Amino acid sequence: MAFEFKKLEEQKKPLYVANQLMDAIRSGKFEAGDKLPTEDELSNMTGVSRASVREALAALRLGGVIRTKVGTGTYVEEIPAEENIKEKIVNILVDNPKPLELQEARAAFESGAVEIAADKFSEGGEREMEETLGEMEEAARDDDYQEFLNLHKEFHLEIGKATQNEVIEDTLRNLQGIMNDKMWRKLEKKHYLPDKRNYLLESVEIHRGIFAALQAGDPELARKKMTDHFSRYS
């Protein structure tokens, strides 16, 4: 049976798009591993802006339904079998939008911060980051996602420190403080489940790419690597 997307001219458009995508996946139009239409295509299918589509996709990523691979597209991660999956997406999009706003703010801020860090990168910062990356890999191989998350946050704080700008460093710390929000911690834990060791190891390699750009003193490459990092799951 063919599945047809419907257009909506009302509020809560991201939730509407997310619900349609989940219905499409459940109907069999898209199966686990299948590639989803692009943001432009989904925008045309549903009659909403790309911004609304992007927010819907971000919620589905945080809910573990889909996964985006930088440079290739967005794919179905798993079929949402739980009856309360829609309730979870509502919690993300409507009841607690902070995680989505935080990711957007971090992506914009840290992409600029890493450029400054690349210009001022020092041997001291290099040693700290190299050590943190080694510990991140060890935590990933041990399936210790909580330790991995702590080290991941530490790596990003080290980028702030490498800018040699106290305002940037303090702002990054404030953003990290918001990440202690109960809903954010719940979503974060969901995103880094212990059975996703390969995902964590892949994340380590992405951070090594950022580190290499900093070592090379290449601001443009550092920004690209950081943008790719956030595009992966936000």
- Cβ atoms of 43 and 81 closer than 8 Å: no
Among 175-179, 196-200, 224-228, the range of highest mean pLDDT = 224-228
Residue 84 or residue 121, greater confidence:
121
Provide CATH code, domain 13-94.
1.10.10.10
Query: Domain spanning 96-233: which CATH class is it, in words?
Result: mainly alpha
Residue 47 neighbours by CB under 8 Å, 6+ apart: 7, 8, 9
- Phi, psi dihedral angles at 173 (to 5 degrees): -65, -40
Other CB atoms closer than 10 Å to residue 95's CB: what's the count?
Answer: 10
The CA distance from 141 to 204, in Å, is: 11
pTM over 0.85: no
Share of the chain above pLDDT 70, in %: 80
The CA distance from 195 to 224, in Å, is: 29
User: What is residue 56's predicted lDDT score, i.e. its pLDDT?
Assistant: 86
Query: What is the rounded average pLDDT of the residues 47-76?
Result: 82
Range(s) for CATH 1.10.10.10 in the chain?
A: 13-94
DSSP-derived pairing of the beta strands 73-76 and 66-69: antiparallel
Range(s) for CATH 1.20.120.530 in the chain?
A: 96-233
Share of the chain above pLDDT 90, in %: 38
User: What is residue 5's predicted lDDT score, i.e. its pLDDT?
Assistant: 75
pLDDT category, 234, cuts 50, 70, 90? very low
- Cβ atoms of 152 and 196 closer than 8 Å: no
Largest CA distance in the chain: 61
pLDDT category, 198, cuts 50, 70, 90? confident
